[in-house]
Structure 1
Amino acid sequence: MLSFGSFLRLLILLVLCAATHVAAAATVLVLLSEPSPIYQEFANAVSSELRRDASGIEVIQMHSDQVGAKPLPEAQFVIGAGNRAAQILVNRDIKAPTLLALLPRSAYDRIAAGKRDDKRVSALFIDQPPARYIDLVRVALPDAERIGMLAGPDSRDTVARLMQVARDRKLRPMQENIASDSDIFPALQRMFGEGGVLMAVPDTAVFNSQTIPNLLLSAYRFRVPVVGFSQAYVKAGALIALYSTPEQIGTQSAEIARNVLAGGSVPAPQYPRLFNVGINTHVARSLGYQLDSETGIRDKLERLERP
């Protein structure tokens, strides 16, 4: 039989263990821009990754229409998915570490301009690192030297970064600034009189549902392959695309959240680590390209990034 002193010590130990367990449990709020399948895929990946261990992290999901003027639920880490969610979180005085994900770097630079010195706020971009995007052309289309880019109001900085990397890789980048839809076809004519590759960049003023069909058709008539930044581009007629899925970005977002909740610092804004390559084999045959497999190209890009 335990003495009173032993019983008391055991009771204190149990209380401390329970308190430690409670302290270890944390809540992650995932705010989605809208309740669409893409955002839900992202949220499911966050939840799935955070449930992989026994840390007891709870995930709360909301979308922007549910927020309004009411306070957000209390959380120890907050993830905003998409431009609209990012705007809401930036406009709120969020005390918890915050990750803005599933948005282009250009959108982050615009939305979070006033938060650049806030060490609690970071981002996981949806677009690819410039070096990886340029290296895709070098790996998949080794004979290509001329890379043309259409720069709209929101993508001038993105295009500038890509142009610099292309020059560093001894390629010949070309840029045309686009102010309206009517500028696109003349720009293609000027850039691709001697052939080349058209590299699409995230900018809805240039690449949107109204312009993409005609843009891809025009490029096809010029026999210019298009390099896209999403799987949808491959389906629509781009030769090849480099992209990260919502699931991949959700998984990386959860890894960041788990590390911060374990005591790590909020990392600097970053590009996706995980990515895929997509190829339109019909367009490849029509343009006379014999490409390596999607897996083969991705493996080569991953090797280039290894230290």
Structure 2
Amino acid sequence: MTRFLSRRLLAGLLCCLLCSAAQAERALMVLSDFGHSYQQVRDATRATSGQSIDVRTLDQLTPADHRQRSIILAVGSRACEQMLNRYQSDSRLVCSFLPSTTFQQLIQQLLPKQEHQGVSAIFIDQPLLRQIRLAHLIKPDANTLGAALSSASRSLRRPLENSTRSVGLTLHLTYLSTHDNPAEKLIPVIQGSDLFLVIPDSRVFNRTTSKWLLHLALRHQVPVIGFSENYTHAGAAASIHSSAVQIGQQTGEWLTRLQAGEPLPPPSYPAYFDISINPVAMRTLKLSPVDLDSLKQALLHLEDTH
């Protein structure tokens, strides 16, 4: 009887230890706030991974939350910044749903001298080459692509030049500061370009500047390629973008791989994306009608073969 009870007690203790270990291994997801988009990332991550995840918003986060966590998911720029501030090298941190330029700036500011093998990201913005390929598919006879950068996005100059060149286009680039008159800088670029690519940089394109740009480009018969569905609705010929659900799906896939013991993927652009077209703008610009599914398949084919 004593031996039986000892076995039962040992089994119970083992179960408790295993349950505690499983609980400790649950990933922690930190949301920048409880906005709808962040909730969509959270829900899609859970649905894709099928895993239980401990979720906190920044105002709920306690000093003990991130300790002894092997996997931390930070959703949004503010969450990424906070978790980089608290980063410990024995954990793996995935920042998700934030611009690539923001992630690079945060790494340089907060982990300038540390190894970054345990930190990665899933960006919200599209790779430049994907955007430029879309622009070329929209207007195949184009020769020149216009764009504008600010000090915040200046690091994109070289990849922008390389991507434009690889598609067979010439880049017509300008820089804008907060003290510049946008018209003086952008009008010559638009007049000298066959296409214009909008870089997601709020220092260059706020709501007023974007509205003015779209009007000017339409007047000069220059198709604008945007980075959100709102840009398409406002008058861009086409835009390419990833939703919060799509970013959450990719985050969930990464979580599954990490919990299976696979290595942390490198910082990556969205694996899933959608394209939106403005038919009125396309007709006004005298562009050939396009089929969205065919356009997306053409982009995917180019990415698979190059």
**TM-score, normalization by structure 1:** 0.87
1:195 deviates by 4.0
Matched residues, number: 297
Match of 1:82 in 2: 76
> Are residues 1:112 and 2:110 paired?
no
* C-alpha contact 1:201 1:229 (8 A) present in aligned 2: yes
* C-alpha contact 1:76 1:261 (8 A) present in aligned 2: no
* C-alpha contact 2:30 2:56 (8 A) present in aligned 1: yes
Output the amino acid matched with 2:134: L
* C-alpha contact 1:195 1:223 (8 A) present in aligned 2: no
Output the amino acid matched with 2:92: P
Residue deviations 1:192-225 (CA, integer Å, cap 9, x gap): 3244111011211012234222222222222221
Match of 2:126 in 1: 128
Moved more, 203-212 or 242-251: 203-212
1:152 deviates by 0.8
Which blocks of at least 5 consecutive residues in structure 2 are unaligned?
none
Residue deviations 1:167-201 (CA, integer Å, cap 9, x gap): 12221111100012743212222113244111011
* C-alpha contact 1:198 1:226 (8 A) present in aligned 2: yes
* C-alpha contact 1:159 1:201 (8 A) present in aligned 2: no
> Are residues 1:103 and 2:123 paired?
no
- Other structure's SS at 1:143 match: coil
Output the amino acid matched with 1:250: G
1:96 deviates by 1.9
Match of 1:54 in 2: none
Of 32, 52, 61, which residue of structure 2 is paired with 1:58?
52
Output the amino acid matched with 2:220: F
* C-alpha contact 1:188 1:219 (8 A) present in aligned 2: no
Moved more, 259-268 or 184-193: 184-193
- Other structure's SS at 2:103 match: helix
Please give the root-mean-square deviation of Cα atoms over the aligned residues, in Å: 2.6
**TM-score, normalization by structure 2:** 0.87
- Matches of 2:15 and 2:63, distance apart in 1: 35
Output the amino acid matched with 2:82: I
> Are residues 1:37 and 2:36 paired?
yes
Q: Quickly say closer, same or farther: Cα 1:119–1:174, change in 2 above 3 A.
A: same
Output the amino acid matched with 1:102: F
Q: Quickly say closer, same or farther: Cα 1:159–1:238, change in 2 above 3 A.
A: farther
* C-alpha contact 2:148 2:198 (8 A) present in aligned 1: yes
Moved more, 12-21 or 80-89: 12-21
Moved more, 219-228 or 11-20: 11-20
- Other structure's SS at 1:117 match: coil
- Matches of 1:160 and 1:183, distance apart in 2: 25
Residue deviations 1:15-55 (CA, integer Å, cap 9, x gap): 8788667655631222122221111111111111121xxxx
* C-alpha contact 2:226 2:240 (8 A) present in aligned 1: yes
Moved more, 196-205 or 75-84: 75-84
Q: How does 1:141-290 map to 2 (within 5 A)?
A: 141-180=139-178, 182-290=180-288
Output the amino acid matched with 1:46: T
Output the amino acid matched with 2:236: A
- Matches of 1:18 and 1:87, distance apart in 2: 35
- Other structure's SS at 1:255 match: helix
1:296 deviates by 1.3
Residue deviations 1:69-118 (CA, integer Å, cap 9, x gap): 74435533111111111111111134421101111111111011226722
1:121 deviates by 0.6
Which blocks of at least 5 consecutive residues in structure 1 are unaligned?
52-56
Output the amino acid matched with 1:63: T
Q: Quickly say closer, same or farther: Cα 1:165–1:9, change in 2 above 3 A.
A: same
* C-alpha contact 1:197 1:226 (8 A) present in aligned 2: yes
- Other structure's SS at 1:192 match: helix
